[in-house]
Amino acid sequence: MSEALESGPAAPAPRGRAPSKVPEPANPGGGTALAAVCLGFFMVLMDASALNVALPRLRAELGGGLAPLEWTVNSYTIAMAACLLGGGALADRLGARRLFELSLLLFVAASAACAASPGLGALIAARTVQGVAAGGLLPASLAVIAHMYPEPARRAKAFTIWGGVSSLALVIGPVAGGALTAAVGWRAIFLINVPIGLLAVAGCRRRLAPSPTRAVPLDPWGQLAAAVVVGCGIGALVEGGSHGWSAPLPLTLLGAAALAAVAFGLAERAARHPVLPLGVLRRPGFAAGLGLGALFQFGAYGGQFALSLHLQHRWGLGALGAGLAFVPFASCWAFASFVLARAVTRTGPRLLLIVGSAGAAAGALALLPLSGGRDWPLFTVGSCLLGLGAGLMGPSLPTVVLRSLPPDQSGLASGSLNALRQVGGAIGVALFGPLLDGRGDAGLRVCLALVALGFAAAALVVRHSMPAVTRARPADIRTT
């Protein structure tokens, strides 16, 4: 993927590798091609949050305890996070457009399997396949756009649109999920992906030129170890919260995650082409950016998960009512992402990250008095503050990570940031689920306090790891 992000012609292949297969640049397919690409990843990202408001209905129909219900959410995010690291190299190897189309088709097939699932086990398996497809699609979409727009100014504008659409997808998810669940049922959340995904594939095939390919070496052992670390680590949180930390399964999963982490470090040191060169973690800007991404997703996605369950369990709202309750939150997030966060190109990310994290923390603290009574003014004010703060942070995060590495490692930077973001969101769901189960208002307050603490920690990371005066390059804004 790193080669695909270069704006100039492809560099000569390094000695020992097959020469690049670069098709003649075609005129970009214009707005239609960009819309097709945006439609594909919009669907994938929206799916990450749309299911949250449908969980009570799903539990009523399929049964099962809280832990299996959490796995319907986390199996998707864990699989996506585990595959994002290698997605950039695979896009270079197969061609970004080819990987994008294959991932879309796999996502459509997995969505159909989710809709037809007879039980939670089958649904979790199909959601895992969805996550694998999403892990290939997200980095491929960036490379496709980069090949469509080789001229830096147009590319920067396209990446800004990419970032805004991806932010919008995450906040529209609860609204769309609630409406579909209320009108048709929870299976409609997955069925609607079939026509949308096929439409995106058709648009890409008609309007996009083939992407360059390179014989990029893969790192299968590093990728496998990373997947085990993420899967077993999050699994231990889910099972430990549900069955107790002294139970055999959480302890076994923790042990497996620790062993896999050691294996990952050894594999990356020995690999000629590691999926994550360990040396980049010594760069303060890169490490801080990854930490900010995890804290951001922990607070924004975890808080959304906790509030959606509270609205349905304590306030008695249906899926549609819970989805509509998030309209102010989604509107503020979208406004901040599309309008206010444009200042990142002039002021740099530091100010926006500090103001955004402080605003989001204030929103979480404002929501602490929520109880079983339907206090709509309190919920609206708190969720709007949370949405505004998160919307300011989202477009600023990639700037921190992307400019901390050389341009030829842009794919590594983007993949790592998105992977850590997914891990942060999965940790939030894994921790908050047990806290909310049967604990009523007290459980929600603990969750919101953790959300506020996470955003406050993000503000401290920014303050101590970033210079006071910094300016962003427009081309740095590539993903949220």
| Residue-wise pLDDT tens digits, 238-266 | 777 667 778 888 899 899 999 999 998 89
pLDDT at 216: 65
Name the fold adopted by 30-218+275-476: Growth Hormone; Chain: A; (1.20.1250)
pLDDT at 345: 57
Question: How do residues 116-171 score in pLDDT, each as one tens digit?
Answer: 999 888 999 999 999 999 988 887 887 787 777 777 667 666 766 776 677 677 76
Instruction: Output the CA–CA distances (angstroms, integers) from residue 356 to 299, 395, 420, in the order listed.
Output: 12, 11, 19
Cα gap 231→75, rounded to integer Å: 8
Question: How do residues 339-381 score in pLDDT, each as one tens digit?
Answer: 776 665 566 788 889 999 999 999 999 999 998 888 999 999 9
Cα gap 451→257, rounded to integer Å: 25
pLDDT at 133: 93
Question: Cβ distance 124 to 71 under 8 Å?
Answer: yes
Q: Which of 390, 388, 396 is closest to 417 using CA atoms?
A: 396
pLDDT at 343: 64
Cα gap 236→228, rounded to integer Å: 12
Cα gap 95→93, rounded to integer Å: 6
What residues does each domain of the chain span? 30-218+275-476, 219-274
pLDDT at 341: 62
Amino acid (1-letter code) at residue 448: L
Question: How do residues 21-77 score in pLDDT, each as one tens digit?
Answer: 444 444 445 677 888 888 888 888 888 778 877 888 888 888 776 667 778 887 887
Please tell me which residue, 30 or 193, carries the higher pLDDT value. 193
Question: Tokens at residue 50, please?
Answer: 């749309």
DSSP string, 430-441: HHHHHHHTTTHH
Residue reference for tokens 């397919």 = 29
Q: How far is CA 274 from the centre of its chain?
A: 22
pLDDT at 156: 60
Question: Tokens at residue 438, please?
Answer: 């049967």
Question: Cβ distance 93 to 213 under 8 Å?
Answer: yes
Whole-number average pLDDT of the chain: 80
Q: Which of 270, 201, 243, 254 is closest to 36 using CA atoms?
A: 201
Question: How do residues 372-383 score in pLDDT, each as one tens digit?
Answer: 888 999 999 999
pLDDT at 49: 75
pLDDT > 90? residue 449: yes
Instruction: State the pLDDT confidence band at 458, using cuts at 50, 70 and 90.
Output: very high
Cα gap 281→291, rounded to integer Å: 11
Cα gap 284→315, rounded to integer Å: 44
pLDDT at 259: 95
Question: Tokens at residue 160, please?
Answer: 């800004």
